[in-house]
Amino acid sequence: MSPRCFNIARYQGSVLLQYLANCVILTELTLVYFCGTLILVSILYSCAGQAGASGYIAVMALFGFPSATIKPTALVLNVFVSAIVSLRFFRAGHFSWRLLFPFAISSLPAAMLGGFISLPANIFNRLLGSLLLVAALPLVLGRVPEQDADSPPRWPVALLAGAAVGLLSGLTGVGGGILFTPLLIYCRWAPPRTAAAISAVFIFINSVSALIGHLGAARSLPPNLPLFTFAALFGGAIGSQLGSVHLSPVAIHRILGAILIVAGWKLVLG
């Protein structure tokens, strides 16, 4: 074998090994359990106006997915589910372009930058685990304030907040809604329904931008992604129609908070 052919074969072998390292082997029964869990998570999150990335990440962590697979999978699922949720809230008349605009224009480049950056596995796991634990606290312990919003934030504040959430979204594969919605509500920048509507579109924008950054770094998407996407879409369609009519918002928050805590601790402790 010539040196050139040997180098080509060695390169192809290294690519194959890298691909296999980023895959998780699921038996047929485990695959059914995983897709069923994705459907459940998608239903619960979309009922609350979210796309579910933090929930998908938590489930993938519990099922032992490698960190290199978690991020692109969560981003793709987020894009499709957030599109359904955005449409539902937009048709209900709760959306405000004026409030979203300053957050969106700063979050787009930040999310793309975060999607392009690939963190080492140990740093990724600890950062993501900490983020999941922080996101779980208001779901388990917090109360959503019922008062109306005071006023939208000033542009510099909105730009800074959008960039921060966008960067975290791109780095971790979370669409940002799990952070953006509480920020809007607890800072009294938007009432709960408007916050949910704006967050759904914010999630879609950031997920698309982060996914473009991820693909721009020449990383392949994981296997079985079409099946995972179908499962999440199925759950998102059900949840976006049901809303919170048949499920208690408090129960949804507690269930999601428990999932995030378990997965967050697993990632932080390794």
Q: What is the pLDDT of residue 20?
A: 39
The per-residue pLDDT for 148 is 57
Q: What is the pTM of this model?
A: 0.72
Identify whether the C-beta of residue 152 lies closer than 8 Å to the C-beta of residue 99.
yes
Structure tokens at 149: 């919003």
Q: What per-residue confidence (pLDDT) applies to 145?
A: 52
Nearest to 131 by CA among 210, 54, 213: 54
pLDDT number for residue 234 = 94
For the segment 125-137, what is each residue's pLDDT rounded down to a tens digit?
Answer: 787 788 778 877 7
Q: Cβ(110)–Cβ(163) under 8 Å?
A: yes
Question: Does the pLDDT at position 160 exceed 90?
Answer: yes
pLDDT at 12 over 60: no
List pLDDT tens digits, range 17-36: 344 344 555 677 888 999 99
Residue 22 CA to residue 65 CA, distance in Å, equals: 8
Q: Which of 98, 89, 200 is nearest to 152 (CA)?
A: 98
Q: What is the mean pLDDT of residues 200-208?
A: 86
Residue range 163-167: mean pLDDT, rounded: 88
DSSP state of 51: -
Q: What pLDDT shows up at residue 247?
A: 60
Domain boundaries, the chain: 29-269
Q: Please say if the pLDDT value at position 180 is more than 60.
A: yes
Q: What is the per-residue pLDDT for 35?
A: 93
